[in-house]
Amino acid sequence: MKNSPRQLEFPVSQKIYGRLLLAYPGSHRAKYGAAMAQLFRDQCRDAWNESPTWGLLMLWVRIFPDLVGTSILERLAALNERKTMSDKLSNLFSFRTTSASIFFTMFALVFMLVFFLSVVITYILPEAYASTARVKVESDAPVLEEQSPAYDPNFIQTTLEIIQSELVLKRVIDVLDLNTKWGKKYSSGGTLKTAESLQILKQRLQLTPIRNTKLIAITAYSDDKNEAAKIANAVAEAYRDYRFESRAMNDKAVIAVLLAEYQNQQVRIQKVQGELDSLRQQLKIQSDASAGQNPQEQPYWDKKRDLGYMLESHQALFSKIEAQKLDLALPKLTLVQITDTAEPSYAPVRPNKTLNIVIGAVAGGFLGLIAGAASVFVAFKFGNRASKNAAPA
């Protein structure tokens, strides 16, 4: 059976610990090296049983300072033993070789640990895939033709906020059934509340306006590449639907207002028409040919002219309502256009393995230099004090 990378960490840790035992003096290694390696193996097994993911990491975090501290103490003890057997000249030579040995041992220890941790963390971190959909957005054209389009400098920013709002994202949660899907994944098979799914969804979205265009890139992140693409596309579609619906609602509201005004006008026209008829009977006007001949008929002719204006206005309002209804029926394709749909990506975007490992190597080298220099300083300045502390009583 092929081992997974995580299963391999166990023997790898033992191999690394075996190499790190070189930090101890040869005499100590010869006597206790095998027992220490065996004890570390037992501790690895316990840590693995406790938690395969973090157990080994926590064990290393605990073991490494122990290894550094005790290896320095053992080397100091070995150095003191040698001093009693060597003359001053050989001690001087021994000092140089020992300081170089301590420096390089510490450098190697710290470098290997930091590098190892960076590799382990890089491979333990969950992978994340990203998919991007792009949409072209236009500001709403004025509902009534008389209104002039106004430039809104905050239009893109407002759009970004709307895309991340509940108005849009709740649609995504419903369409993709994220409460159930993420409930299975993050809530031991239960169902998440919409507020919880909303929080997760917001964390996984990144919206980027593309400079000097009306385009917005909607990037979704997920540990599942197909899910990332579905979320990005669903957000783009949900925003498009939201814009269409809100525009349709505006249009309907405008039509309702215009219709109400149209009906009011009809009432007023009927009233004026009635008054005009009674005036005509009262003044016994037979035909329109006598207009302007008799000054007593003037109120009739004035009212008739007013009625004519009212009828013209009424007709114009009717045309506007018809145009508005037609506009409502037309699809608003230019409001939001999905210019690019998201596709599942082939490679994860997080973690950036190469970058993490390079940073681990650089940081390991830097910390190794500091640790090496500090160890030599501690070893030869405070050696006697440390040796006393090492005594059992």
The residue (of 83 and 353) whose beta carbon lies closer to other proteins is 83
Q: Minimum Å distance from CB 161 to other proteins?
A: 49
In this structure, how many other beta carbons lie within 10 angstroms of the beta carbon of residue 84? 6
User: SS3 string of 4-31?
Assistant: CHHHHHHHHHHHHHHHHHHHCCHHHHHH
The residue (of 32 and 244) whose beta carbon lies closer to other proteins is 32
Q: Does 331 bind other proteins (CB under 8 A)?
A: no
Q: Does 30 bind other proteins (CB under 8 A)?
A: no
Q: Minimum Å distance from CB 38 to other proteins?
A: 7
Q: Minimum Å distance from CB 42 to other proteins?
A: 4
Interface segment toward other proteins; rule CB under 8 A; list 126-134, 185-193, 200-208, 384-392: 384-392
In whole angstroms, what is the distance from residue 372 CA to residue 369 CA?
Answer: 5
Residue type, 56: L
The DSSP 8-state label assigned to residue 331 in this structure reads -
- Nearest one of 310, 315, 313, 288 to 300, comparing CA atoms: 288
Q: Minimum Å distance from CB 203 to other proteins?
A: 35
The residue (of 34 and 256) whose beta carbon lies closer to other proteins is 34
In this structure, how many other beta carbons lie within 10 angstroms of the beta carbon of residue 292? 8
Phi, psi angles (nearest 5°) of residue 96 = -65, -50
User: SS3 string of 279-329?
Assistant: HHHHHCCCCHHHCCCCHHHHHHHHHHHHHHHHHHHHHHHHHHHHHHHHHHH
Q: Which helix (H) or strand (E) holds 344?
A: none
Q: Which helix (H) or strand (E) holds 138?
A: none
Coil, strand, or helix at residue 160?
Answer: helix
The residue (of 24 and 182) whose beta carbon lies closer to other proteins is 24
In whole angstroms, what is the distance from residue 156 CA to residue 135 CA?
Answer: 12
Q: Minimum Å distance from CB 41 to other proteins?
A: 9
In whole angstroms, what is the distance from residue 97 CA to residue 375 CA?
Answer: 14
Q: Minimum Å distance from CB 51 to other proteins?
A: 15
In whole angstroms, what is the distance from residue 1 CA to residue 10 CA?
Answer: 16
**What's the alpha-carbon Rg for the chain, to the nearest Å?**
42
DSSP assignment of 20-66: HGGGS-HHHHHHHHHHHHHHHHHHHHHHHHH-TTTHHHHHHHHHHHH
Range 280-309, binding other proteins (CB under 8 A): none
Q: Minimum Å distance from CB 210 to other proteins?
A: 54
The residue (of 75 and 320) whose beta carbon lies closer to other proteins is 75
Range 89-108, binding other proteins (CB under 8 A): none
Range 32-91, binding other proteins (CB under 8 A): 32, 34-40, 42-43, 62-63, 66-67, 69-71, 73-74
Dihedral sign, Cα of residue 36, residue 41, residue 42, residue 43: positive
Residue count, binding to other proteins (CB under 8 A): 26
Q: Minimum Å distance from CB 189 to other proteins?
A: 32
Q: Minimum Å distance from CB 385 to other proteins?
A: 15
Binding site for other proteins (CB under 8 A): 24, 28, 31-32, 34-40, 42-43, 62-63, 66-67, 69-71, 73-74, 390-393
